[in-house]
Structure 1
Amino acid sequence: MTAEATRIGLLSDIHGNAVALNAVLDDMEPVDALVCAGDIVGYGPSPEACLDVVRDREIPTVMGNHDREVVRGMTWESGDEYARRVLSSEDLEWLAELPRELRLFDERLKVVHDHPDERDRYTEPADFAPTLLDDEDILVLGHTHIQHAEAFDEGLVVNPGSVGQPRDGDPDAAYAIVDLADLTVDLCRVPYDIESVQQRIKETSISDRNGDRLARE
């Protein structure tokens, strides 16, 4: 990633929801680069399509907990099991090579899925603090599916929220845009066709619960 990039689009927790992902990419104003904080797969009915978008666009991505468990075959829920069945060996190999963390743009932006010091730990909005930051200007987190950002003297901590399965009371797909020049963030939402995703889930082996929760969380 080039150091000249200034406006960075942040994605996280896509969770096999290609309709939401495409809505986000269509809605997002021009940015210099995209970054993903993990969990491309799990829960949703289109893991292949979501993985293809991230891979084809060469979006720097860290490994989420669902990505990891699908690779390992230790699936937690029906969307994981579905992803494990439909992804190709090449897809699984690509997921397996995703890193735990990334430092980009002259190490000014750090990306992890969960907590910078503890894998699989939820970093809730109440946990956002300057102590999460190391020497980066911006720390990007996912995992909670809760969109939130806080600015400190030490830098900016951002969870862009979940593209494919928000859990913060707003069902619209979530993303964020950060500006490395002035260390600001725009938290963004975009509606998408939830019913079409719910119908697609019904056509798979994925539990209907995964579709029902899209509209209420």
Structure 2
Amino acid sequence: MRLGLLSDIHGNRIALEAVLDDMPPVDGLVCAGDVVGYNPWPAECVATVRERAIPTVRGNHDRAVAAGSAAGFNAMARAGVDHARSALDDDAIAWLDGLPERRAVADGRVAVVHGHPDDPDHYTRRREFAGGLIDSAADRLGVAEADLDALVLGHTHVQHHGVFPEGVVVNPGSVGQPRDGDPRAAYAVVDLDDRTVEERRVEYDTDAVAAAVADAGLPERIGSRLAEGR
């Protein structure tokens, strides 16, 4: 079974469309949260995820939009939450509010979270994927559970994965706001049968997104940093 892995779409319709157009043949899609936030198209991104019935977990921006509170967020993140609150109808906000923090897909073979199995707001950094640096890394990240082939998470906007005897841990990176110095939209494909991961990137029109950010009255830096992958 092959699954396409998405995360951190963050209201970037143009990036999401590019990823879906680039997606190779897969048996299904999953999303590790933060469908909304920052960029100008939260309603369109929520609609796409819902129309495609993509299993999704609730990210911290999804939660903030649903709750109407961006406590602890910086100015850009707060602006994205406010924009999403104004752009989404009650049904879409209720959908965000109803997303779980963790879910199992592929007959229980894959667990999907946003930040970490024990803390949805924890930034699981690249170093935590390295078994040579942290003892029992697979146990820490929750892939030692019976019959679990993969753990999918996001939140950092940095694409990477780890392969352990117990299974694979994958952060597909951010569709809508990569932060690893590569401006291309990020996603991944995992093959559950041979436990391999393909990290994929696709170019999209960051200038068009930056222009839409300005048109929406959002902070300019939300758009300009997309070209830097920051």
Q: Please, which runs of 5 or more residues in structure 1 have no aligned partner?
A: 1-5
Structure 1 CA distance for aligned equivalents of residues 218 and 35 of structure 2:
16
Q: Which residue of 2 aligns with 1:212?
A: 224
Residue from 168, 181, 189 that aligns with 1:169: 181
Q: What secondary structure is seen at the aligned counterpart in 1 of 2:198?
A: strand
Instruction: Calculate the TM-score normalised by the size of structure 1.
Output: 0.96
Aligned pairs for 1:105-124 (under 5 A) are 105-124=106-125
| 8 Å CA contact 2:3, 2:28 repeated in 1 | yes
Residue 127 (structure 1) shift = 1.1
- Write the deviation string for residues 44-76 of structure 1: whole angstroms up to 9, x where unpaired: 010011001000000000000000001111123
Residue from 127, 143, 149 that aligns with 2:155: 143
Residue from 36, 39, 48 that aligns with 1:41: 36
Q: Does 1:159 align with 2:154?
A: no
Structure 2 CA distance for aligned equivalents of residues 80 and 34 of structure 1:
25
- Write the deviation string for residues 7-27 of structure 1: whole angstroms up to 9, x where unpaired: 100000000000000000001
Instruction: Calculate the TM-score normalised by the size of structure 2.
Output: 0.91
Residue 206 (structure 1) shift = 1.2
What is the root-mean-square deviation in Å for CA atoms of aligned residues? 0.8
Percent sequence identity over aligned pairs: 55
Structure 2 CA distance for aligned equivalents of residues 161 and 119 of structure 1:
16
Residue 212 (structure 1) shift = 1.2
Q: Which residue of 2 aligns with 1:69?
A: 64
Q: Work out the number of aligned pairs and report it.
A: 212
Q: Please, which runs of 5 or more residues in structure 2 have no aligned partner?
A: 130-136
Q: Which residue of 2 aligns with 1:55?
A: 50
Amino acid at match of 1:47: P
Deviates more, 1:203-212 or 1:155-164: 203-212
Residue 134 (structure 1) shift = 3.6
Residue 156 (structure 1) shift = 0.2
Amino acid at match of 1:80: V
Residue 213 (structure 1) shift = 1.2
Structure 2 CA distance for aligned equivalents of residues 212 and 78 of structure 1:
15
Structure 1 CA distance for aligned equivalents of residues 181 and 122 of structure 2:
21
Deviates more, 1:189-198 or 1:205-214: 205-214
Q: What secondary structure is seen at the aligned counterpart in 2 of 1:74?
A: coil
| 8 Å CA contact 1:82, 1:205 repeated in 2 | no
Residue 118 (structure 1) shift = 1.4
Deviates more, 1:120-129 or 1:10-19: 120-129
Q: What secondary structure is seen at the aligned counterpart in 2 of 1:127?
A: helix
Q: Which residue of 1 aligns with 2:134?
A: none
